[in-house]
Amino acid sequence: MAKRDGIPLQWVLTVMLGLSILMSVAGQGVARPAREMFQYVMIAPTDIGMYLATTFRRAFGDEGGQGLSAEQAEAINLRQRLLKNEVAYLRGRLADSEQRVRDLTNFQEMFGPAKSVNCVLIPARVVAGESLPYGDSRTVGVGERQGARAGDRVTTRRLVTDRAKAMVKLNVLGANALVGYLGDTGAFTAKLILVTDRNFHTPAFVDRDLANARMIPGPTKEVPLTGKNNELIPCTAVGDGWSGMVVRGISADKRVQVGDWLVTSIPKTVFLNKVPIGTVVEVRDDPQQAGFQELIIAPDADLAALRRVYIVYPLWREGAVERR
């Protein structure tokens, strides 16, 4: 019998294989805490590794996030203008808008943390990826101790200053894009399910780009799409498992075109709505439903080189007042 220091290796192997079977049957009850503990062991060296990997992908990557073309820059400018109009509209509807305008005259208030928004952004770093290509998730170095919870939305972090961060309602909407939401969260780490993961699904809106002229069905005849009749199209976006998302069940009458946008539609909040998710890159007939279309969406964020993110901490959550 083969032995090492008095322990028969056959026994060791038998116990190991038995453990494997037990862990398989136990499912997430064992897998979740075990993975969480292992993340603590991994977090320091993988943080450095992810820095190198994302730097490499940023330099040589080919999965979106490249520099903007003149047309894209123009489209973003247009979107910014639309968003500014929307913010102005929302301000008019808010009962305390006058009070906030007065507050803004105070220098300290202006450059302090924004009190008018109902979410806080928690900065986090991506510290590890997934070891196998079947899923598309990342590990972020922020957990429940910092306020993160499963289901929290995560955006890119393209803002430079804390002042910009504080002015969520103006800057984040235009500057950042949704990258996913948190899955399992531990005390100090959390799993970020990316928008391209097969298990990702979120309510969203299709926002038709007014720069692309088109006719849409009116009450009696077809009319051009304008700012007045350009209603957001509610839908559900699902990760396709490799590089984008799929939106199904969009009526062909909506006349969605390549170049239109997919934006968030998160209940309970105004300011998390209309955060960009991606751009429509293909429109095709839905094979399962006649008269409906299927949209292929490319994410706005460069997920291959994802390094710094914001976790959106909603202030309506129970116990969130203390954080504010």
Q: Which residues ranging from 279 to 318 are in contact with other proteins (CB under 8 A)?
A: 304
Buried b (16+ CB within 10 A) or exposed e, 202-241: bebbbbbbbeeeeebeeeeeeeebeeeeeeebebebbbbb
- Residue type (1 letter), 168: V
Query: Cβ closer to other proteins: 136 or 209?
Result: 136
If one asks whether residue 22 binds other proteins (CB under 8 A), the answer comes out as yes
Could you give the string, one character per residue 237-276, with x where binding to other proteins holds by CB under 8 A and - elsewhere? ----xxx---------------------------------
What's the CA gap between 118 and 314, in Å, rounded? 6
DSSP at 137: E
Q: For residue 44, what are its two tokens?
A: 């320091």
**Chosen residue from 7, 9, 160, 211 binding other proteins by CB under 8 A:** 9
Query: Given the rule CB under 8 A, which of 6-14, 70-78, 166-174, 225-233 is the region that contacts other proteins?
Result: 6-14
Q: Which residues ranging from 65 to 124 are in contact with other proteins (CB under 8 A)?
A: none
Following DSSP, what letter does each residue of 278-323 receive, concatenated? Answer: EEEEEEEE-TTSTTEEEEEEEESS-GGG--EEEEEEETTSTTTTTT
**Chosen residue from 71, 182, 199, 231 binding other proteins by CB under 8 A:** 199
> Nearest to residue 272, comparing CAs of 237, 302, 310, 304?
310
Residues forming the site for other proteins (CB under 8 A) = 2, 9-10, 12-13, 16-17, 19-28, 30-32, 34-35, 38, 41-42, 45-46, 48-50, 52-53, 56-57, 63, 128-137, 139, 183-184, 191, 197-199, 241-243, 304
